[in-house]
Amino acid sequence: MQGSNVDIGGELEAAATRFGFNLEAAAVDRLRLLLGLWQRFGRAFNLSGATDEAGLLGHVLEGLQVVGLAHKIGTRPEQRWLDVGSGAGFPALVVAACLEVQVTLIEPRERRASFLDMAVHQIGRRDCGVLRGHVEGASWRPVKNGGELVTPGSFDWASARAVFSPEVWVEVGRQWVKPGGVVVAHVRAETGVFAGEVGRVDDARWSIRGVARG
């Protein structure tokens, strides 16, 4: 991030305000650190198509929409958040940087999982964890036999970005959250309302929806 002419902190704080919450200084510092990690390790770990500052910042701002939705609906530190197919860490690492919820990141690929594990430790979130495996409907399939068990219906929040179609993900995600838990869906801005929708945060391109399990 050295030599950048972009006011990263200002961009992040302005986006948070647009999405309905105030971004604390500690969260800005964590996000700056993450942006540096994505730039430094993006190609080596095959993390994301975006490796430049502008492209990565766009992903972070979309993650802040998710954080805005969580603020709108309400979170508590003891809540558990499941992120499926975490990849480079969008939105899971942004959520972990900004909220005190306990995030479980699911990523089957070894190199990406190694990066995610490093990143959560770098931002001081040792209460968050990275597991290698696949979510298939209401089933958990670890990459290696004997891997840690992930239990359906045990999370307060569930998110997945670009893993399932939004309609499929809402149905899958509902199986992983508790009654009253929230599934986070990333959809185009013009998408209609989901049954059970309890909140949304819109931007020009993306709309982040919260859909409750009844």
136 is annotated as contributing to ligand binding = yes
What is the CATH class of 8-212? alpha beta
Tens digit of each residue's pLDDT (9 = 90 or more) over 7-61: 899 999 999 999 999 999 999 999 999 999 999 998 888 787 666 778 899 999 9
The DSSP symbol for 42 reads T
pTM: 0.94
Q: What are phi and psi of 98, to 5 degrees?
A: -110, -25
Q: Is 107 annotated as a binding residue?
A: no
115 is in an annotated binding site: no
Alpha helices in the chain (DSSP H): 8-18, 25-41, 53-73, 92-98, 110-122, 166-174
- 66: annotated binding-site residue? no
**Is the dihedral angle over the CA atoms 89, 17, 7, 50 positive or is it negative?**
positive
Segment 156-177, tens digit of pLDDT: 999 999 899 999 999 999 999 9
- In sign, the C-alpha dihedral spanning 143, 148, 149, 153 is negative
Q: Cα 94 vs. chain centroid, distance in angstroms?
A: 6
Token duo for residue 71: 């603020």
Give yes or no for a contact between 85 and 132, defined as CB atoms under 8 angstroms apart: no
Query: Was 90 annotated as part of a binding site?
Result: yes
